């Protein structure tokens, strides 16, 4: 046997060993959650103000309040697991978490893998933050220019395909903001409500910055649960509580509590549901 | 009779001049002090800059840093724990594979060689991804559920390349023992296993220690890779702290704080490795 053949066979051996250990799907999640007494939720801890860390190590934020409300409704304790855009759906499928409340955009592709609970609890749109001196007027002005963005944001792909900016992607928001402040890019591609919050916070550093474009691509955010739970008891509970949040205006209250500008989507849905009842 | 006592033309053995090693205490201490001072100056400067550019209403950069330091340190300790456990697991597997690499049984030797080469030449992060996403999060054995959390998977993921490197260290250590040792042992009717455990490995052991420690220091620094797969290590927490503060000017001081923790831990290991290498050099 020559060395290459040995190498190939050991490689095959390693892969086979890895594949042999496949995850098992969970059945009747609600009963299981009640039995354990714990609802495991995947949350963000690096996306202020939806989910972020306190110096004590506690995770707080708008989405944490939502997750807590669901746990309270079921009558169990809340366990939070910090997730990233890359691993949250995997964790859910494996059963490591029961629910995702982690700034997850509701897209057709993801719906094939994860159950998206309606009504959606938030909607953001895409815009850029840029110095006034950059003189951006329309999205096409971004063509070929350096634009900072954050890893894993759903709008990165769409914007780079449509307007072909020279996209520089950073791991976190502060990294990207730092690059913008240091003139490493002409604009920062981000969620429009967060840009409004940043600009209106009164930091003199951003006094000469603006949100020059018309927000595009409204994107709904959804709570994610396993597909097989969508028609199960867990899906029903989450759906009901989500409707209730809209109707009672709890979501709008939470936006105010966490310093987010009230989003048009929430105001509209609140009106619609109130009129219907 | 000594060599100098005769005036006959005798060929004296050639002695190489002593190597100029940075031995003694002064050089390493000065060197280490210098590096440390450089980092400290960088840290202080970035802190001062952050202080100056802070918004008027904000708190001082030092206050913010001190507030987060305990949490970041906790995260750092988690890195150290991960490094310990993956080193232990990696060494255990690596020693076995390394001994298999010098086995007389051809299939065993070749399989061990293949595994070692594969895991030694695969990117650490890719192996980590494989371990994270292919292993289940819990095992069911006889109705008993054994949880298999992300950090355990990370330990396995990091232990794979460590094992391959340890395997090479063991193989190299065993091979570095002169063949005369094997032959003498055979002449004295030692079995192969006895020769390995009682004669070769004890001699090879001290030669394996420095590269092994070196590997450990590299592993410790590589543990920050686990932040990519979403485990709450020092780097993840530092990033989360930066997000929570929303003050980009704190970025460099915060990252430097974490860097100093790693440096303070890894640098003494590097020095000790060098000291050991020098010591064993003299004897060999």
Domains detected in chain B: 27-283 (1.10.3720.10)
Q: Would A29-121+222-276 and A124-218 be classified into the same CATH topology?
A: yes
What is the per-residue pLDDT for B77? Answer: 95
ipTM of this model? Answer: 0.71
What is the per-residue pLDDT for B1? Answer: 47
Nearest to B284 by CA among B190, B223, B204, B216: B204
What is the per-residue pLDDT for A1? Answer: 47
pLDDT digits (tens, 9 = 90+) for A51-109: 889 888 899 999 999 999 999 999 999 999 988 877 888 889 888 899 999 988 888 88
Q: H-helix or E-strand containing B126?
A: helix B124-134
The set of residues, in sequence order, having a beta carbon less than 8 Å from that of A28 and lying 6+ positions away, is A232, A233
Rounded-to-integer distance, Cα B146 and Cα B130, Å? 20
Of the candidate CATH numbers 3.40.50.300, 1.10.600.10, 3.40.190.10, 3.40.720.10, the domain formed by A29-121+222-276 belongs to 3.40.190.10
Do residue B136 and residue A14 have CB atoms under 8 angstroms apart?
A: no
Phi then psi dihedrals of residue A106, to 5 deg? -90, 95
* Entry pTM: 0.76
| Sheet strands side by side (includes A38-43) | A77-82, A38-43, A99-101, A224-226, A114-116
- Residues of chain A below pLDDT 50: 1, 20-26
Q: H-helix or E-strand containing B141?
A: strand B138-141
Chain B residues whose CB is inside 8 A of the A14 CB are 115, 118-119
Mutate to test the interface with A, among B105, B120, B243 (most CBs of A within 10 A): B243
Phi then psi dihedrals of residue A125, to 5 deg? -135, 165
CA dihedral B72, B77, B80, B86 (to 10 degrees): -100
Do residue B240 and residue A45 have CB atoms under 8 angstroms apart?
A: yes
Q: H-helix or E-strand containing B204?
A: helix B201-222
Q: H-helix or E-strand containing B162?
A: helix B150-175
Rounded-to-integer distance, Cα B225 and Cα B158, Å? 9
Rounded-to-integer distance, Cα B226 and Cα B84, Å? 14
Chain B residues whose CB is inside 8 A of the A13 CB are 111, 115
Closest residue, chain B, to A204 (C-alpha): B55
What is the per-residue pLDDT for A7? Answer: 61
Closest residue, chain B, to A18 (C-alpha): B134
C-alpha distances in Å from residue B92, one per residue of B85, B103, B155, B193: 11, 17, 13, 18
What is the per-residue pLDDT for B88? Answer: 96
Of the candidates A3, A86, A172, the beta carbon closest to that of B243 is on A172
Nearest to B60 by CA among B247, B244, B238: B247
Nearest to A21 by CA among B144, B148, B141, B139: B139
Do residue B248 and residue A174 have CB atoms under 8 angstroms apart?
A: yes
Domain boundaries, chain A: 29-121+222-276, 124-218
CB atoms within 10 A of CB A234: 26
C-alpha distances in Å from residue A257, one per residue of A101, B194, B243: 18, 73, 18
What is the per-residue pLDDT for B6? Answer: 67
- Interface A–B counts its CB contacts (< 8 A) at 116
CA dihedral A189, A194, A197, A200 (to 10 degrees): 10
Do B36 and B259 touch, CB atoms closer than 8 A? no
pLDDT tens track of chain B, all 284 residues? 454 566 777 776 677 666 555 555 555 556 667 777 777 777 887 777 776 665 555 677 888 889 999 999 999 999 999 999 999 999 999 999 999 999 889 999 999 999 999 999 999 999 998 888 787 767 777 767 777 788 899 999 999 999 999 999 999 999 999 999 999 999 999 999 899 989 999 899 888 999 999 999 999 999 999 988 878 899 999 988 988 887 777 888 999 999 999 999 999 998 998 888 888 765 54
Closest residue, chain A, to B140 (C-alpha): A24
Do B273 and B214 touch, CB atoms closer than 8 A? yes
Mutate to test the interface with B, among A6, A82, A181, A182 (most CBs of B within 10 A): A6
Q: Assess if CATH 3.40.190.10 describes domain A124-218.
A: yes
The set of residues, in sequence order, having a beta carbon less than 8 Å from that of A31 and lying 6+ positions away, is A233
Chain A residues whose CB is inside 8 A of the B247 CB are 174
Do B21 and B278 touch, CB atoms closer than 8 A? yes
Phi then psi dihedrals of residue A56, to 5 deg? -75, -10
Give long-range contacts, CB 8 A cutoff, 24+ apart: B109-113.
B110/A1, B110/A6, B111/A6, B111/A9, B111/A10, B111/A13, B112/B167, B113/A3, B113/A6
Q: Tell me the two tokens of residue B281.
A: 């050099």
């Amino acid at each position: 046997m020559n060395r290459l053949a040995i190498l190939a066979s050991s490689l095959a051996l390693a892969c086979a060993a890895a594949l042999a250990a496949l995850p098992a799907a969970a059945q009747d999640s609600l009963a299981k959650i009640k039995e354990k007494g714990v609802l495991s939720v995947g949350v963000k801890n690096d996306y202020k103000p939806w989910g972020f860390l306190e110096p004590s190590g506690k995770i707080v934020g708008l989405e944490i309040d939502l997750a807590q409300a669901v746990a309270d409704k079921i009558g169990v304790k809340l366990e939070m697991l910090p997730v990233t855009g890359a691993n949250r759906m995997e964790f859910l499928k494996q059963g490591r978490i029961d629910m995702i409340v982690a700034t997850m955009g509701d897209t057709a592709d993801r719906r094939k893998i994860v159950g998206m609970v309606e009504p959606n609890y938030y909607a953001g749109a895409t815009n850029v933050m840029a110095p006034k001196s950059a003189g951006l007027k329309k999205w096409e002005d971004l063509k070929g220019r350096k634009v900072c963005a954050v890893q894993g944001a759903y709008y990165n792909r769409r914007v780079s395909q449509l307007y072909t900016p020279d996209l520089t992607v950073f791991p976190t928001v502060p990294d990207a903001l730092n690059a913008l402040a240091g003139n490493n890019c002409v604009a920062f591609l981000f969620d429009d409500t967060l840009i409004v919050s940043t600009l209106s916070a009164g930091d003199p550093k951003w006094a000469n910055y603006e949100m020059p474009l018309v927000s595009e691509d409204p994107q709904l955010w959804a709570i994610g649960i396993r597909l097989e739970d969508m028609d199960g008891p867990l899906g029903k509970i989450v759906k009901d509580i989500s409707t209730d949040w809209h109707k009672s205006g709890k979501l709008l209250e939470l936006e105010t509590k966490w310093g987010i500008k009230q989003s048009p989507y929430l105001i509209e849905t609140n009106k619609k549901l109130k009129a219907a009842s | 009779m000594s060599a100098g006592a005769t005036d006959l033309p005798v060929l004296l053995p050639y002695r190489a001049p002593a190597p100029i090693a940075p031995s003694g205490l002064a050089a390493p201490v000065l060197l280490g002090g210098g590096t440390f001072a450089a980092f400290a100056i960088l840290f202080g400067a970035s802190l001062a800059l952050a202080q100056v550019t802070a918004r008027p209403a904000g708190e001082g950069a030092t206050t913010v840093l001190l507030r987060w330091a305990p949490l970041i340190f906790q995260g750092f300790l988690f890195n150290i724990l991960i490094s310990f456990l993956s080193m232990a697991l990696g060494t255990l597997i690596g020693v076995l594979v390394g001994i298999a690499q010098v086995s007389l049984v051809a299939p065993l030797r070749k399989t061990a060689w293949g595994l070692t080469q594969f895991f030694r030449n695969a990117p650490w992060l890719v192996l980590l991804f494989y371990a994270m996403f292919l292993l289940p999060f819990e095992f069911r054995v006889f109705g008993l559920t054994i949880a298999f959390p992300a950090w355990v998977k990370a330990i396995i993921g990091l232990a794979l390349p460590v094992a391959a490197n340890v395997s090479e260290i063991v193989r190299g250590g065993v091979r570095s023992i002169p063949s005369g040792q094997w032959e003498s042992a055979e002449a004295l009717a030692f079995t192969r296993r006895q020769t390995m455990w009682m004669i070769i490995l004890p001699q090879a052991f001290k030669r394996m220690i420095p590269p092994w420690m070196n590997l450990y220091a590299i592993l410790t620094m590589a543990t920050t890779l686990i932040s990519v797969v979403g485990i709450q290590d020092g780097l993840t927490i530092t990033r989360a702290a930066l997000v929570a503060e929303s003050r980009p000017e704190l970025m460099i001081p915060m990252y430097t704080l974490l860097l100093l923790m790693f440096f303070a831990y890894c640098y003494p290991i590097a020095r000790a490795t060098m000291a050991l290498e020098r010591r064993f050099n003299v004897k060999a």
